[in-house]
Structure 1
Amino acid sequence: MSLCQGKSSWPELVGATGEDAAATIEKENTLVDAIIVKEGTAVIENFSCKRVWVWVNCDGIVISIPQIG
């Protein structure tokens, strides 16, 4: 069981644009903020039920499964 409420992982969004993925994530779980991050960028590593990192490549395409964290 997840510590966080609502949907927590979006494997179906790998290959989508970051913008479309972020919009879908925030629509499917209104308790989170989806944050688009370019691969190679440093991010804070603390866990948060209110955040989903959306990792994209240089073309803005999602490269890994977005999940709460």
Structure 2
Amino acid sequence: MSEEKQEQRTNPPHEQPNVPLPRNYMQALGTNNPTKTSWPELVGVSAEEAETKIKEEMSDVQIQVVPPDSFVTADYKPKRVRLYVDESNKVIRTPTIG
């Protein structure tokens, strides 16, 4: 019986690789691509210019132009960017993914 206990104690510990923890959500998902998530520099430009600039950086993105006093859903979509515009079709809020 003492041999069995000794055998249990002498089992080698499970080796765990020396891998650091993920630093952000995208890294945890395995996509360590540092993509942009907002475009503050586009506030004040036309919706068309903003759409062109965002699509240059994210080709597979869906752009939604949101006119003043419009309602939007609260869901999150990682391939969507909403452009909130004023009456003259200028971007009034920082476009962000979601």
Assess same fold via TM > 0.5: yes
Q: Which residue of 1 aligns with 2:91?
A: 62
Question: So what's the TM-score if we normalise by structure 1?
Answer: 0.87
Aligned pair partner of 2:74 in 27, 45, 53: 45
**Which structure is higher in RCO with an 8 Å CA cutoff and minimum separation 6?**
1
Structure richer in strand, relative to its length: 1
- Among all aligned residue pairs of Structure 1 and Structure 2, give the percentage whose two residues are the same amino acid: 35
Q: CA RMSD in A?
A: 1.7
Question: So what's the TM-score if we normalise by structure 2?
Answer: 0.63
Unmatched segments (≥5 aa) in structure 2: 1-23
Aligned pair partner of 2:45 in 8, 16, 20: 16
Unmatched segments (≥5 aa) in structure 1: none
Count, aligned residues:
69
Structure richer in helix, relative to its length: 2
State the Cα distance separating 1:39 from its structure 2 match. 2.0
